[in-house]
Amino acid sequence: MVDIENVTFSWPGKQEFQVGIDRFSLADSERLLLLGPSGSGKSTLLSLVTGIVSPQQGMVNILGTNLGSLSGSARDRFRAEHFGIIFQMFNLLPYGTAIDNVMLPLQFAPERSNRAAHSGGARHEAHRLLTALGIDETLHNQPAAELSVGQQQRVAAARALIGSPQIIIADEPTSALDRNRQQDFLKLLFSQTAKSGSSVLMVSHDDSHQKWFDRVIYLPEIIKTGETS
């Protein structure tokens, strides 16, 4: 699903500070947890995996496609089709309803839209996911801004899951929740990804989540950061 080899990257304007990744991979249907403190390179890794940025050297291969061979617009389309992303701050449209937010990725991803439509229509699938993730039907047409933090998080998860993208990226998705709600959320998330067969790549600083995952990697073990010589 994901294969990164001999990658080096530095952000524009910070060429003197470089990130290096010798090898990183994610298997089909694998649940992989990346643990690391702030500044350990998690944002850079996720940006490379999803094609938001391109490395100066090395290869980022996703689902058999070398992202370096794609134009910027082609990478955007590839990301929309094959990745479902749960952002740390959720990034919902505040005045859009829960349903509107869940269906938003389908506007940019025809293949995902077709897959969602196979189960009775995309809107039906959006309702199903919200209900499966614990959002009462009476809240499906509520603006996102009127939902609780926990409810917004579940809307964000449903948005990532709709259309069964092959890879789910979760960037600190439980950081705004208390311990009990974190566990409830992970249970619901993995019950849905098990149905779709999606791989899950989650980044966190909380090592209590390890039991939910097939494999755990500490970011300092795979990411080298420092001054360039």
SS (H, E, C) the chain: CEEEEEEEECCCCCCCEEEEEEEEEECCCCEEEEECCCCCCHHHHHHHHCCCCCCCEEEEEECCEEHHHCCHHHHHHHHHHHEEEECCCCCCCCCCEHHHHHHHHHHHCHHHHHHHHCCCCHHHHHHHHHHHCCCCHHHCCCEHHHCCHHHHHHHHHHHHHCCCCCEEEEECCCCCCCHHHHHHHHHHHHHHHHHHCCEEEEEECCHHHHHHCCEEEEHHHHEEEEECC
Q: How confident is the model at residue 25 (pLDDT cuts 50, 70, 90)?
A: very high
Q: Which domains does the chain have, with CATH numbers?
A: 29-54+71-218 (3.40.50.300)
> What pLDDT sits at residue 228?
65
pTM of the model: 0.93
- Model confidence pLDDT, tens digit, residues 105-148: 999 999 999 999 987 899 999 999 999 999 999 999 999 999 99
> What pLDDT sits at residue 182?
86
> What pLDDT sits at residue 205?
87
Mean pLDDT (whole number) for 176-193: 86
Q: What mean pLDDT is reported for the chain?
A: 92
Least reliable range by pLDDT among 20-34, 164-178, 189-203 = 164-178
> What pLDDT sits at residue 175?
80
Residue 229, pLDDT above cutoff 60: no
> What pLDDT sits at residue 185?
87
- Model confidence pLDDT, tens digit, residues 197-228: 999 999 998 889 999 999 999 998 999 887 76
